[in-house]
Structure 1
Amino acid sequence: MSLAVERDGTPLVARPRSRWRGWLVVVLIVAVAALLLLWAGSAFTASEKGRTDPESHGPDGYRALVEVLRDHGVSVQVTRSHRDVARLLADGAGTLVLPDPSTLSNDTVSAMIDAADTTVLLNPSSAVLDLAIPGAEIVGYGAHEVAADCDLPAADNAGTIRPGALMTGGDLSCFRDGDGAGLISQTSDGRTVRALDATLLFTNATITQNGNAALALALLGEHDALVWYVPSWNDSDARRASDATLADLTPGWVTPALVLLAATAAVAAIWRGRRFGPLVAERLPVTVRASETLEGRARLYARARDTGHAARILRRRSIAELGRLLGMGRGATPDAVIEAAAAAVAGPRDALRVLLTGPAPTTDAELVELSDRLAQWEAAIRAAVRTEGKRS
């Protein structure tokens, strides 16, 4: 901020030359915030994809299993649209891999299951499990490695696994642990539905443990064609009238009215708000002399009978003045000033120390005496310094 000076020496504040800088800072902050939000959204999307996507290389993805299936001659096709499932399975027998399709309606899930000879539910929710295998339910969680102990060759040849969710139901149960089983299966009308928790069995991080790989290859490699559906909210059809959002239930005129009110508030805030830039200093209507301010503060101290505070101000000022007269810097300690002052006038060092750092006076008379003695020491030091200057 530049200053202009009138003839009488009064400083005037020049008009700010760059008010646009404040708006530039606001724009930059908004841009940075928008970039951070976009980055956070993309990171969240990538994280969700890594948990469920068969093409993910992350520890929670299924890319390793897909590549092994393809190496064994299984044609694996990944689709993200439920409308493509029936088309991809229409040319012959095939296996449908169906992670929890909670974003789809029951009719769509049933149609997808009916289109495949074998459907493998990797980590079904309770609702989807009951829909695919009526009466089935999740009853617990596995805590031990268990053997298949069932009549399903694909499971029996795998050896032992440590199951995740434990389920009941179906016409076949494998890897039993307590009241539940890690794998259940049901065959009806020539179509088979199998369910298991693959989050601890078939991911990139766990596929090589125990008999996980053998079980995965046997279950998912039963047919030469395999369709792996990846559910997402973008492909959801489960939205019903009962799921209407607040925007759907709000009259059409409400949104434009809210936008108009927000725009009006923003314009009013800019119009009535403080301008960006430094504060503007204004000339006072009257000039207050420093002596008047000093006398006013002195009267306040006298009225409050705060002799201790007044004594501290006098001593602090006297130490600074003595240090200046002796050519000492502002950082000089009281002890150093006392030593130098006593040496300059060959005076009593202890008396000066008590005068500058001793107990505070308790009466006005003691305060006046302290002020006089400090003035005497300053006068003596000033005279000694002048005499030394004349000699040199």
Structure 2
Amino acid sequence: MSLAVERDGTPLVARRRRGWRGWIAVVLIVIVAAVLLLWASSTFTASEKGRADPESHGPDGYRALVEVLRGHGVSVEIARSHSDVARLLEDESSTLVLPDPYTLSDDTVRGLIDAASTTVLLDPSSAVLDLAIPGAEIVGYGAHEVAAKCDLPAAENAGTIRPGALMTGGDLSCFPEGEGAGLISETRDGRTVRALDASLLFTNASVTENGNAALALALLGEHESLVWYVPSWNDSDTQRASDATLADLTPGWVTPALVLLALTAVLAAIWRGRRFGPLVAERLPVTVRASETLEGRARLYARARDTGHAAHILRRRSIAELGRLLGMGRGATPDAVIDAAAAAVAGPRDALRILLTGPAPTTDAELVELSDRLAQWEAAIRAAVRTEGKRS
């Protein structure tokens, strides 16, 4: 039994095997890239979730504060849905820690605030601040360390802090700077709402600065129970028709059509793409001799009257030939070749240097003269080398 063989002598079976190896390599690369993308996506999602999170160890998280509160006997419950917050606030007086609830409606936010004995707004937006403390607003940002200067014991015992956002409103203001204050508070119907910018005060990276830790423990540890709400897009009660995603607005036939087009494009690429494997060796229809190529280039130089280029080629070839005759390597510099050639025939070194590296000729007659002089030097070096060889 004989194996099928292509023109270059390679068996078809071996050629096809190399082709399949190429496709297997492509599939493996795609799989590895997909795994790396999924890993990077999960890592990015986890890191984004950890920002401003009470369970995050990162510099923007609040894990250190939560652990200290638990160490002081405060029961800290972390809720990631507003329904869990409402359930945890039903039967006992508790402190509600409420970061900016950007996914909740105004009615839901009011209901959570009304259910807590004390609500601490961490880094509130202007809308949530006005909702919790009517008339309150953000007027700037702090730039210096300031003292409490108010009758709130939790603030007075903290000493000085460097506030973030400065606010106005409420019935009590602490840590004043300029037109605003770093902490505002209001009590209505036996329930208290306090607001401050905790992103620069209570995070893992900043809680140990100034009086931040004392202020955090006093404000959040007022009651034995603390409920910390963590907002997210998965916990929203504001979904409306105007919030529909692109997938919701896309007709059902679009996705199958796109998948079919993608598969068609892949199949077309495989069908029309070059097969993997070595290039096919083909015989040239015409064999061009080196002498004909040389003559063709010479005619082009002559027609263009490029005597400078032609002289450069002649000099470069002559330097290489002289170096070869003198037994010098290919890496020999022109100066080294000139010195060795002049020493071999006891000839004028400066004249040879001008001949090999001087200005280019400008006319055909000067080019012919340069060629003749180079040939004379080569002949002289060749004769000197032969004479030296006979003597030895």
TM norm. shorter chain > 0.5 = yes
Query: What is the aligned partner in structure 2 of residue 316 from structure 1?
Result: 316
Alpha-carbon offset, residue 40 of structure 1: 4.0
- The answer for the alignment partner of 1:6 in structure 2 is none
Deviation of residue 209 (structure 1)?
A: 3.3
Change (3 A) 1:352 1:140: closer
Question: SS at the partner of 1:119?
Answer: strand
Separation of aligned partners in 2, 1:353 and 1:150: 94
Written as runs of structure 1 = structure 2, the 5 A alignment for 1:1-392 is 18-20=18-20, 22-23=22-23, 26-27=26-27, 29-31=29-31, 33-392=33-392
Distance 1:208 1:347 in 2: 87
For structure 1, which runs of at least 5 residues remain unmatched after alignment? 1-10
Q: 1:330 to 1:170 in 2, by over 3 A?
A: same
Native 8 Å contact 2:52 2:203 kept in 1 = no
Q: CA deviation at 1:177?
A: 2.6
Offset at 1:265?
1.9
- Three-state SS of the structure 1 residue aligned to 2:342 is helix
- Distance of 2:361 and 2:91 partners within structure 1: 107
Deviation at 1:346, TM superposition (A): 4.1
CA–CA distance in structure 1, aligned partners of residues 117 and 251 of structure 2: 48
CA 1:47/1:379 → structure 2, altered by over 3 Å: closer, same or farther? same
Pair 1:187–1:13, CA change in 2 (3 A)? farther
- Return the offset for 1:299: 0.6
1:344-373 Cα deviation digits (max 9, x unpaired)? 344444443333233332222232232233
* SS at structure 2 position matched to 1:235: coil
Residue identity in the other structure for 1:101? P
Distance 1:357 1:306 in 2: 17
Whether the aligned pair in 2 keeps the contact of 1:13 and 1:281 (CA below 8 Å) is: no
Give the whole-Å Cα distance in 2 for the aligned partners of 1:341 and 1:167.
91
Aligned in 2, Cα 1:149/1:375: closer, same or farther, shift over 3 Å?
closer
Q: Identify which range, 288-297 or 209-218, moves more after superposition.
A: 209-218
SS of match in other structure, 1:234: coil
Secondary structure of 1:301's match? Answer: helix
Assess if the C-alpha contact under 8 Å between 1:61 and 1:203 holds in 2.
Answer: yes
- Displacement after TM superposition at 1:119 (Å): 1.4
Q: Which range moved further: 298-307 or 319-328? A: 319-328
> Residue type of the partner of 1:363?
T
Tell me the percent identity: 86
Cα separation, partners in 2 of 1:388 and 1:93, compared to 1, 3 Å? same
How far is the alpha carbon of 1:281 from its aligned partner?
4.2
Q: How many equivalent pairs are there? A: 382
Rounded to whole Å, the distance in 2 between the matches of 1:135 and 1:187 is 14
Secondary structure in structure 2 of the residue aligned to 1:296: helix
Contact 1:142 1:182 in 2 (8 A): yes
**What amino acid does structure 1 have at the position aligned with 2:140?**
G
Q: Give the Å deviation of 1:163.
A: 2.2
Q: Structure 1's 298 and 76: CA in aligned 2 closer, same or farther, altered over 3 A?
A: same
CA positional deviation for 1:29: 5.0
SS in 2 for 1:52: coil
Displacement, 1:248?
Answer: 1.4
Q: CA deviation at 1:97?
A: 0.9
> Does the 8 Å contact 1:165/1:196 carry over to 2?
yes
**What is the TM-score normalised by the length of structure 1?**
0.86
Q: Secondary structure at the match of 1:120?
A: strand
Aligned-partner Cα distance in 2 for 1:139–1:77:
33
Residues 346 and 127 of structure 1: CA distance in aligned 2, closer, same or farther (over 3 Å)? same
Quote the Cα distance in structure 2 between the aligned partners of 1:21 and 1:112: 62
26-35 or 328-337, which moves further after superposition? Answer: 26-35
Greater Cα offset, 64-73 or 204-213:
204-213
Change in Cα spacing, 1:185 to 1:292, as seen in structure 2 (3 Å) is same
Distance 1:377 1:210 in 2: 89
CA deviations 1:321-363 (Å, max 9, x no partner) are: 1221222111222233233333434444444333323333222
Equivalents in 2 of 1:136, 1:321: separation in Å? 93
Q: Structure 1: how far apart are the matches of 2:177 and 2:339?
A: 90
1:32 positional shift? 5.2
Work out the CA distance in 2 between the residues paired with 1:237 and 1:292: 85
Partner of 2:3: none
**Counterparts of 1:63 and 1:356 in 2: how far apart (Å)?**
79
CA deviation map 1:65-86 (0-9, x unaligned): 2222222221111122222112
TM-score (normalizing by structure 2): 0.86
RMSD: 2.8
Partner of 1:4: none
- Matched position secondary structure for 2:259: helix
Going from structure 1 to structure 2, the CA distance change for 1:14 and 1:303 (only over 3 Å counts) comes to farther
Q: Give secondary structure in 1 for the equivalent of 2:353.
A: helix
Q: List per-residue Cα deviations over 1:245-284 (Å, max 9, x = no partner).
A: 2221121111221222222222222322334455444321
User: How far did 1:12 drift?
Assistant: 5.7
More displaced, 221-230 or 16-25? 16-25
CA offsets per residue over residues 135-163 of structure 1, 9 Å max, x none? Answer: 22212122333343444333344343332
Give per-residue Cα distances to partners, 1:301-333, cap 9 Å, x unaligned: 111111221122112112211221222111222
Matched residues in 2 for 1:317 and 1:275: separation? 44
Is the contact between residue 13 and residue 280 of structure 1 (CA under 8 Å) also seen in structure 2? Answer: no
* 8 Å Cα contact 2:66/2:76 also seen in 1: yes
DSSP 3-state at the match of 2:51: helix
